Structure 1
Amino acid sequence: MKLATDLPDTHTLRELMQFLHEEIGLPDHKTISLKTSINLDLGCNGTDAQHLMEALEERFGLELADYDAYRYFQPAGNDPHFKRNAKGRGSKVPLTIGMLYEAIKAGHWDTQALEG
């Protein structure tokens, strides 16, 4: 995996990058930065995304009360609710490594702050 040269050199970010490499695999041919989105750039969706976020919550003690998987990820399998035009269910918002990093540092997911 190639990491961008401007990544912060912190224990938390190193641990997050190792975690992501173990869980979803980080490609060798792409440079990974805080702006890399795990859903749009790395193609993590469905069951893989659900497992990733559950593992992230457990490993880092992250509180995900404000997290809505439908904002970021395509659902696993056939989800009849996905076809509805509900708020936040259309185009997916990029979920970046930087957002994960900031959430871990804060200890909780704050959608407005992380997407702002």
Structure 2
Amino acid sequence: MSQILTNREAIRQWVAARGGNPLMMDVPDGTHNRTILQLTFGQQALNAEGNEGPDRVGGFRLASWEEWFTALEEGGLALRVSDDPSGGNEAEFEFVSRDEEETTRSA
């Protein structure tokens, strides 16, 4: 089972419960930049060497929650997550349109 989260505190709690952190990367997209959002889990991802982690030049960077949430909302995105109370696999999330969240709620 899964649930779609849009509430900032609910997202933050889901990520924190799994030892996660927000990441962002700005990439060229025509005449402007496009922001790519991601989440990283576990200390290994934060301490990666070489080109494996968020600290690589030109790659993902750790972001503040405020910055990450602003980009999430500006992109019209929500987070679909596993609602397994035991935590489950932290990789079980995906970004979806907030329109999908509205459709799910009204069904």
Q: Given the two structures, how large is their TM-score scaled by the length of structure 1?
A: 0.28
The structure richer in strand per residue is 2
The structure richer in helix per residue is 1
Q: Given the two structures, how large is their TM-score scaled by the length of structure 2?
A: 0.30
